[in-house]
Amino acid sequence: MKLAFNIALRFLNSNKGQTFLIILGIAIGVSVQVFIGSLIQGLQKDLINTTIGNSPQITVLSALEDKTIGQWEGKIDTIKNSKEKITALSPTASFPGFIAFNKQTEPVLLRGFDLSKADSIYGITQSIYEGMPPTRKNDVLIGKELRDTLSLNIGDTITILTPTRKSQTMTITGFYDIKVASINQSWVITPIHTVQSLFEINNKITGIEIQVAEVFEADTIASHIDLLLGQNDLLKISNWKDQNQQLLSGLQGQSVSSIMIQVFVLIAVILGIASVLAISVLQKSRQIGILKAMGVKDFTASLIFLFQGFLLGIMGSILGIALGLLLAFSFTLFAINPDGTPVVALYINYGFVTISAIIAILSSTLAALIPAIKSSKLSPMEVIKNG
Amino acid sequence: MDNIIQIKNVNKFYGTTIKKQVLFDVNIGFKKGSFNAIIGQSGSGKSTLLNIMGTLDNPSDGDVYINHQKTTAMDKNQLADLRNKTIGFIFQFHYLLPEFTVQENILMPYAISNRIASSAILEKADYLMDMMGLTTVKNNLATQLSGGQQQRTAIARALMNQPKIILADEPTGNLDSETSENVYQLLREINETFKTTFIIITHDPRIAEKTDRIVEIKDGKIHSDFIK
């Protein structure tokens, strides 16, 4: 083993120009993989973040006609103890209604939150651009668009009307902007007990909103939660994947095309290494013949070329990762939006980079297999007879 | 009879469609510690015979015994091991490894079957280099040597594992007469010091004359066998 390794190293070293060319070939292949992979992953992460980052990925809703969920604290505990990686868990009581101010009426969704919990999903407190968060019963927070429609100010008293014709006056404590116009226009945010008392649902809620660490596993986590809660006739559980099939198939298409590019780059790299090493066997056939005459076994003779492939793979991967990261970095530096932020944020997944390197090393070794077999079959007589 | 090499009824054909017979029913044995010459014209089959004795080539039929072991019954790995431990080769074209230094080339037969060279082994390589006058070029690459130095390196390499047999195919073929004489002296000294069996193919009648036995091959048969 050690002998084969040393001979491989010496062979590579004796022909530096050729060795450098193969390493460069592998490096370019690896750098394209790292760059395209990081780019596509960054793009997808961006897209997912903007699409579902600020909304619940799994929602537990009521299956009853009055849309309420009772004994919800126990259910939240069950979800918490489910061993799934849950990053946010927020109970909500929400009902549609109307807002009336200055003889104008607009349809709204009255959303009762425990703000400290809802913030980890929606970031409501951070999005308040004027005023304070609502803390007392009948305090409300109004969105930017709705404020513009009704020309509202802090301290104004508005009236909320329910579909059952109840009405309640409430006080505006502040205005929020969570960058989604339809939400800014329709959500009236208030402490959860405001909604509970207005709609007379006692301590019940209408939904539990959940965010998870692995967004793409939302569907399996959702069915696990469904199983744990076990009240199929009382509850229904939805997840973002079921509701965003088009986005998902778009992302999937992107992933597939990125993998296709990477596979073809890999094939080109393998063919390159295989052909150069095949020529190298011819160049070194004299040496292989002498070594075999001196007692080197066929297996050791093939190991020499496998080690060459392996060493080339390692060096090519290191150089390739450096090149790929440089490429990705300069892409974020030069491909920028007018405001100076990068078009696609750099996302370096170390796991992916490592896997790319391992694949490159494995395929370089694999590419050396044909030359290795040739080397193993070479008879010392061929060399000695032909001088 | 203590023959270290014994060839029994060996025939050798080359080619598959048009068969050409190179060796005809050859029977010959070589004594342990003897110093032998094989002579004959080009194409007489003497190199083929040497390669068959060295297990580099297989006989078409017949048997070869090295050190009382039947080599025709061995697999490729056993043969490689046998070559490494029992036989040293010196070829007309030196066949050094150009990527390695003189010292590394000489140590190569040892490195093939062992992991790390001990200080005793390194001393042995030094001794061989000293004997061959290679100490000053010890760290030169094989390509940075004169023809004589290359051939002496090849001889030192053949001696490294202290083989029982050394097979030499025109070892002085491309050297001038003075260097040839020196190389011959060296081989003879080794023969006497280590009791190594030598079988040397040569065109040089002056070298052949100084051996213990001259075997002449003609048209694939033993034409004459003269033992002093």
Tokens at A236, concatenated: 């229904």
pLDDT band with cut points at 50, 70 and 90 for residue A342: confident
Q: Of the candidates A80, A171, A85, A179, which has an alpha carbon nearest to the alpha carbon of residue A123?
A: A179
DSSP B100: S
CA–CA separation, A129 vs A123, rounded Å? 12
Q: Of the candidates B160, B165, B162, B163, which has an alpha carbon nearest to the alpha carbon of residue B117?
A: B160
* Neighbouring C-beta atoms of residue A159, cutoff 10 Å: 13
pLDDT band with cut points at 50, 70 and 90 for residue B1: low
Residue A365 main-chain phi, psi, to 5 deg: -65, -40
pLDDT for A386: 63
The pLDDT of residue A191 is above 90: yes
Chain A residues within 8 A of B97 when measuring between CB atoms: 287, 290-291
Beta-ladder partners of A107: A98
pLDDT for A96: 93
> Chain B residue closest to A377 (CA)?
B76
A295 touches chain B (CB under 8 A): yes
pLDDT tens per residue, range B122-131? 999 999 898 8
CA–CA separation, B107 vs B99, rounded Å? 14
> Chain B residue closest to A290 (CA)?
B95
The pLDDT of residue B94 is above 70: no
Q: Decide if B99 and A298 are in contact by the 8 Å CB cutoff.
A: no
More confident residue, A145 or B205: A145
Q: Of the candidates B59, B75, B84, B67, which has an alpha carbon nearest to the alpha carbon of residue B29?
A: B67
| Strand pairing report for A167-176 and A128-131 | antiparallel
pLDDT band with cut points at 50, 70 and 90 for residue B215: very high
Chain centre distance of CA A143: 30
The pLDDT of residue A168 is above 80: yes
Residue A108 main-chain phi, psi, to 5 deg: -140, 170
Q: Of the candidates A257, A313, A349, A361, which has an alpha carbon nearest to the alpha carbon of residue A34?
A: A349
What's the length of chain A? Answer: 387
CA–CA separation, A256 vs A384, rounded Å? 53
Residues B44/B49/B50/B54 CA torsion (nearest 10 deg): 160
pLDDT tens per residue, range A115-167? 888 888 888 888 899 999 998 888 999 999 999 999 999 999 999 999 888 88
Indicate which of A14, A294, A297, A386 best probes the interface with B, i.e. most B CBs within 10 Å of its own CB: A294
pLDDT tens per residue, range A266-308? 888 778 777 877 787 788 888 898 899 999 999 999 999 999 9
C-beta separation of B86 from B66 below 8 A: yes
Tell me the average pLDDT of chain A: 87
Which residue is it, tokens 């304070």? A132
Which residue is it, tokens 């084969």? A4
C-beta separation of A144 from A175 below 8 A: yes
CA distance A379 to chain B (A): 8
Arithmetic mean of pLDDT, A76-95: 87
CA–CA separation, A185 vs A146, rounded Å? 4
Arithmetic mean of pLDDT, A74-81: 86
Return the amino acid letter for B43: G
More confident residue, B47 or B180: B47
The pLDDT of residue A51 is above 60: yes
pLDDT tens per residue, range B56-81? 998 999 999 998 889 988 999 999 99
Q: Decide if B77 and A291 are in contact by the 8 Å CB cutoff.
A: no
Arithmetic mean of pLDDT, B19-39: 91
CA–CA separation, A243 vs A22, rounded Å? 48
Chain B residues within 8 A of A291 when measuring between CB atoms: 97, 108, 112
pLDDT for A55: 85
Q: What angle do CA A293, A296, A300 make, to 5 degrees?
A: 145
Q: Decide if A3 and B112 are in contact by the 8 Å CB cutoff.
A: yes
A17 touches chain B (CB under 8 A): no
Which residue is it, tokens 């491909």? A335
CA–CA separation, A252 vs A47, rounded Å? 13
> Chain B residue closest to A299 (CA)?
B77
The pLDDT of residue B151 is above 90: no
